[in-house]
């Protein structure tokens, strides 16, 4: 415990000294989330992380999250130094959407407006017309659908399928998935709900359709935290990464949160409601990058400029 306090103190000093700010996602270790808040940084969903990083005056941003979040920060602010505690922290959606294969997919469907999820590489974003996060994806596709546009969507098939169902848009889906949310199970959730009849079910839309179908609220991480705070219920079953419980508990003290069931047999559960890449962010490697300046995120400026168009479209839409 003492070591933890010392580490946090040293990190806070260095952030000040180096005019750096810490931007953290809700799924990272609770110590990093607390530190981000205590030092004037932010802890948020991927949309707010992007906006906060872009608008903050700091010369250096430390992004505690996964690679696409660091890349988005760099694309929006190429003049800033973006550091990450571990450059190998990636995302199964990003890994499952190879830029060349994706370009071929787009080439085969030139009549479609290309909408990609934030959880992708800079090269994939560069090929897209729009980038969206889970908090605005539905509204943006509804907007495009109202204009009569046909959509090519990548990479998350569950989020894409959910948006398709809600909007009725013509969407061609890439077949990617998040290895954490893909583990949530509808049947087990139904059984759990039977023993907690008063509980409300909060679901991130990267979850399978059978889980989404049982939800009282479907939303981005920020939207789920807000629901936990404002809904008139004392108990919640939460289908997303368990890192979110720290903030939910703070936002709604006294309420009870239960993580939704993953695989029936825990031996087959690879990720058990916690993202292995988010978990690569810790106090020690954060201190290391602050001390050394190592682990800078680089994005090819030409690719970055192209990718920025699709991100800016979303930010303008969501403004
Ligand atoms: P949010 O945009 O809801 O924060 O989601 C990001 C993510 O990676 C969820 O798995
Ligand atoms: Fe990617 Fe899933 Fe991890 Fe989010 S939780 S970063 S979508 S693997």
* pTM summary value: 0.95
What is the pLDDT confidence band of residue 266, given thresholds at 50, 70 and 90? low
pLDDT at 1: 72
Q: Is the CB of 134 under 6 A from ligand 1?
A: yes
Q: What average pLDDT does this structure show over 258-284?
A: 82
The distance between the two most distant Cα atoms of the chain, rounded to a whole number of Å, is 60
The CB of 140 under 6 Å from ligand 1? The reply is: no
CA dist 240 and 108 (Å) reads 34
Q: In what order do the strands lie in the sheet with 81-83?
A: 42-44, 20-25, 60-64, 81-83
Beta carbon of 206 within 6 Å of any ligand 1 atom: yes
- Provide the CATH number for the domain formed by 181-268 in this structure: 3.40.50.10800
Spell out the domain ranges in the chain: 2-89+278-298, 93-178, 181-268
pLDDT for 224 beyond 80: yes
Which residue, 27, 114, 99, is CA-closest to 63? 27
Contact status, residue 238 vs residue 257, Cβ threshold 8 Å: yes
**pLDDT of 67 above 60:** yes
pLDDT band at 242 (very low <50, low <70, confident <90, very high): very high
Q: Which CATH code fits 2-89+278-298?
A: 3.40.50.10800
Mean pLDDT of the chain: 96
CA distance 223 to 216: 12
Q: Whose CA is nearest to atom 6 of ligand 1?
A: 46
Task: Give residue 142's pLDDT.
Answer: 98
Sheet holding 151-154, edge to edge: 130-132, 113-117, 151-154, 171-173
In degrees and rounded to multiples of 5, residue 181 shows phi and psi of -70, -30
pLDDT at 120 exceeding the cut of 60: yes
pLDDT in tens, 161-212: 999 999 999 999 999 999 999 999 999 999 999 999 999 999 999 999 999 9
What is the structure's pLDDT at 263? 74
Return all residues near 5 (Cβ < 8 A) that are at least 6 apart: none
Distance, CA of 126 to CA of 149 (rounded, Å): 20
How is domain 93-178 classified at the architecture level of CATH? 3-Layer(aba) Sandwich (3.40)
């Amino acid at each position: 415990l003492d070591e933890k306090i010392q580490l946090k103190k040293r990190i806070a000093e260095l952030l000040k000294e180096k005019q750096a700010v810490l931007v953290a996602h809700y799924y990272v270790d609770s110590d990093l989330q607390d530190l981000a808040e205590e030092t004037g940084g932010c802890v948020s969903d991927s949309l707010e992380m992007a906006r906060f990083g872009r608008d903050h005056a700091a010369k250096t941003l430390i992004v505690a999250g996964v690679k696409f979040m660091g890349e988005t920060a760099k694309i929006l602010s190429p003049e800033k130094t973006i550091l990450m505690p571990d450059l190998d922290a990636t995302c199964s959606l990003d890994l499952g959407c190879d830029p060349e294969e994706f370009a071929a997919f787009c080439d085969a469907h030139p009549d479609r407006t290309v909408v990609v999820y934030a959880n992708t590489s800079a090269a994939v974003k560069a090929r897209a017309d729009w980038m969206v996060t889970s908090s605005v994806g539905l509204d943006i596709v509804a907007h495009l659908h109202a204009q009569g546009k046909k959509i090519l969507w990548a990479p998350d098939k569950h989020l894409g399928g959910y948006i398709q169902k809600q909007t009725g848009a013509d969407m061609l889906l890439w077949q990617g998935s998040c290895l954490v949310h893909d583990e949530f199970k509808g049947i087990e959730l139904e059984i759990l709900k039977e023993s907690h009849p008063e509980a409300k079910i909060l679901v991130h839309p990267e979850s399978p359709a059978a889980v989404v179908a049982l939800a009282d609220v479907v939303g981005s991480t920020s939207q789920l935290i807000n629901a936990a705070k404002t809904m008139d219920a004392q108990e919640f079953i939460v289908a997303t990464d368990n890192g979110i419980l720290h903030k939910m508990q703070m936002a709604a003290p006294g309420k009870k949160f239960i993580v939704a069931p993953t695989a029936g047999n825990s031996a087959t559960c690879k990720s058990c409601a916690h993202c292995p890449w988010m978990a690569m962010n810790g106090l020690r490697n954060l201190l290391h990058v602050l001390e050394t300046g190592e682990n800078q995120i680089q994005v090819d400026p030409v690719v970055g400029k192209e990718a920025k168009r699709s991100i800016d479209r979303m930010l303008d839409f969501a403004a």
